[in-house]
Amino acid sequence: MSNNLSVFEFGSGFSTLFYAERVLSIQSVEDNPSWFKVIAKQLPENARVTLQPADEDGKYCRAIKKFNRKFQLVIIDGRDRVNCFKQSLVCLAGDGVILLDDSAREKYAESIDIGKAAGFKVLHFEGMKPTATGLHRTSLFYRSENCLNL
């Protein structure tokens, strides 16, 4: 992964810390006030987290627009994922990639259709997850020219 990437993440956590060590900058939005306090204290200089209460098709999914910039990587691992996916499309750089966690869930299926309709290729990763049992799927949406050189 390139350390020149700008990242936006819906749902902060240990992944925020992971990416912060590997990218230029990461902006994250978190809906849980208690978790926000925990994670905000641990972030390095190139990482920021914003507290935004969860809602449906409201301020949470539109938090990405507050930065008035294009992101090369958008990670969707928070609330209201279908609407977050929709809002991400307008804030994604031309070579940008979207990562949708837990993409096998039926309620997120629309995101896969939206991504394909927008011209993205989809790469699914299935396997075990550290915090759960059973198989889980994460999907990567990308175009031919992308920041990850897929």
Query: In order of start, what are the domains of the chain with their CATH numbers?
Result: 6-142 (3.40.50.150)
Find where tokens 């049992």 sit.
133
Tens digit of pLDDT per residue, the chain (150 long)? 668 999 999 999 999 999 999 999 999 999 999 999 999 999 999 999 999 999 999 999 999 999 999 999 999 999 999 999 999 999 999 999 999 999 999 999 999 999 999 999 999 998 887 777 778 899 999 999 999 999
pLDDT at 83: 98
Q: Identify whether the C-beta of residue 63 lies closer than 8 Å to the C-beta of residue 84.
A: no
C-alpha span between 6 and 88 (Å, rounded) = 13
Distance in angstroms between the alpha carbons of the first and the last residue of the chain: 11
- Residues 30, 31, 37: CA angle, nearest 5 degrees: 65
CB atoms within 10 A of CB 58: 13
pTM exceeds 0.85: yes
The token pair at 123 is 């790469």
Q: Where are the beta strands (DSSP E) in the chain?
A: 6-10, 25-30, 47-51, 71-76, 92-100, 121-127, 136-142
pLDDT at 87: 98
Q: Where are the beta strands (DSSP E) in 57-118?
A: 71-76, 92-100
pLDDT at 2: 63
pLDDT at 134: 76
Biggest CA pair distance of the chain: 40
